[in-house]
Every structure is written in structure tokens, then in C-alpha cells.
Amino acid sequence: MQVRKIPVSQGLAWFRAAIELGARNPKAVFGASLLFMATLYVFALVMVGVVLAVRGEAGGAPNLMLMALVFVPLFLGLMVLMPILLGGMMHVIREAEAGRPVRARDLFAPFRSPRVRTLVVLGLLQVVLSIVGGMVMIAVAGPTYWQEYLGAIRGAMGGATPVMPQPAHPGLLMVVQLAFNYFTYAVMLFAVPLVLFSGLGIVDAVRDALRASVRNIGANLVAAGLFVGGTIVAAVVIVMLSTLLASVGALVHPAVGAMLSLLPLLAFAAAMLVVLAGGAYIAWRDTFDGPQATPPPFGGIEA
């Protein structure tokens, strides 16, 4: 597919448009966002339960080998699930923006898509990239950094005060981490709609996503910077509001305060997810130009 050259200022337009998403069908869009978080929360609870189940005796060191044997497959499942749910979120946003009927549970529509296997491969690719990136960052940090880091984690899990090691080249490590995070997130956010909506295979989707992340790095970084900055500012406001609601609710009962304090936090997380997925969908729509086939719809999704 052809990758359009996008002006840097378009990053601001993407961010503004992403904020306005959900106005057409807020029930479906924000409902899908909450369902997305609930799905991840269930996975997180299972993973935490595994960690607690394989811990050593009280006050003892945990069995790291047993923990890895159980925890790693769950982690892989989570990584595979992420692009599928992200694609489902973009699908709900796309349908709502087009004025077509859509429901929150259409978040799971990609599971009925013949392209779900490609999304699974994309999730596994993210795992491979994470391993390769981790190896590069370990090499930059120093030969003993990883062992010292694992020792600190093991001590913390055993109840000791962790002493985190210092990398050998902190400046270079920061640059490597920033570059790795930018390209992995950009490739993922572009590749998901390229697979699901443009109908590309895994190789073509990753290649075109990488081309877009390089050619339009200015616009992408502007949008990413606005998202991160807006998230930080909004988080400060939300935490203050949550604290206020907790104090007011506690006058009635502590449980009421706790429940009230969770409401703005849930709303904030749902809104950020909508902005992230919506911004990525809008960026894909503006960036790529090429013929798109229109096979019979599957669960409401069109190629």
C-alpha cells in the first residue's frame, strides 16, 4: 500500500479527533472499552493468582522455575490477545463513526474473522521483538545488570528491600529504550488495522507499518507526545477527584468512599483506551492509500 507523507501538524489533528470519538455511539464505544479492560483484568487476576500459588512458604523465596512454567504461557496468551482486542476496539470505533449499528460486545468480532490467525501471529511477533529488544538493552546495560536485576526482584519477592542495579550506559540505554518503544508501538498500532481492515498479510502489514513509522515520524511523535502529556495532566486531575469522592463517600461509609473513588478512575482508563485506539485508527485511515478489497462481511467487519 502507498504510505502518504503526513505533515507534522497532523499529529495534533489526530489527537483532537481521537478525543471527540465516541460522540456518535458512546454506549457502544465506551462499553467496548470497559469490556476490553474487564477482559485484561480477568487475565491479570489469573496471573496474580498464579504468582501467589507458586510462592514459597511464608518468608521464603518463591520457586522461580515453577512460576516461569505457569506464568510464561499466560503471558504469551495475553500478548496474543492484545492485538485481537485492539482490532475489536478499532472495529467498534469504525462502525460507530460510520453510523452503522454496533454494540459493545462487537469488541470480540475479530475472533470471527478469518484474519484472526494473522493477528495472533502479530501478537507472537511482539513477543519476539520484546525478547530481541530486551537482549539488546541488556547488552547495553552491562553483562551483570540482568543477574543483579533478577537478584533484586527475587529479594523483593522474598520480603527484602530491593537494591536496583545501575546500568553501565544509562544515556545510551534510554535512547535504545525510546527507539524500541516507538517502533514497536507504532508497528503494532498500524499493523492491526492493516491486517483487519486493509486485508494485508503479516509481512506486508509489518513492512508498511514500519514504513509509516519512519516516513511520518514527526506526526507520529507529536500525536504520541500529546497523548502522553494529556494522560499525565488528566491523571493528576482524576486522582484529585477520586480522592475528593473517597473523602465524601467515607462520611457515609468507607465502602461507599472506596466505590466512589473507583468511578473516575474507570472512566479515565476507558477514555484513554478510546483515545489510543481511535487515534491509531484515524492515523491508519489518513496514512495509507491503496485499493481495498471488500469481501463478504464477517461479524460486521469489512476488509
275-302 burial, b if ≥16 CB within 10 A, otherwise e? Answer: bbbbbbbbbbebbbeeeeeeeeeeebbb
Tell me the whole-structure pTM to 2 decimals. 0.83
SS (H, E, C) 91-140: HHHHHHHCCCCCCHHHHHHHHHCCCHHHHHHHHHHHHHHHHHHHHHHHHH
pLDDT beneath 70: ranges in the chain: 51, 53-68, 70, 146, 157-159, 162, 290-303
pLDDT number for residue 296: 38
Gap between the Cα atoms of 254 and 190, Å rounded: 44
pLDDT number for residue 283: 95
pLDDT number for residue 135: 84
Gap between the Cα atoms of 139 and 177, Å rounded: 12
Gap between the Cα atoms of 224 and 217, Å rounded: 10
pLDDT number for residue 236: 95
- Would you say 114 and 298 are in contact if contact means Cβ atoms under 8 Å apart? yes
Gap between the Cα atoms of 74 and 88, Å rounded: 21
Beta-bridged to residue 288, according to DSSP, are 3
pLDDT number for residue 47: 74
pLDDT number for residue 61: 54
DSSP designation for 2: E
pLDDT number for residue 46: 79
pLDDT number for residue 145: 75
pLDDT number for residue 295: 40
pLDDT number for residue 117: 94
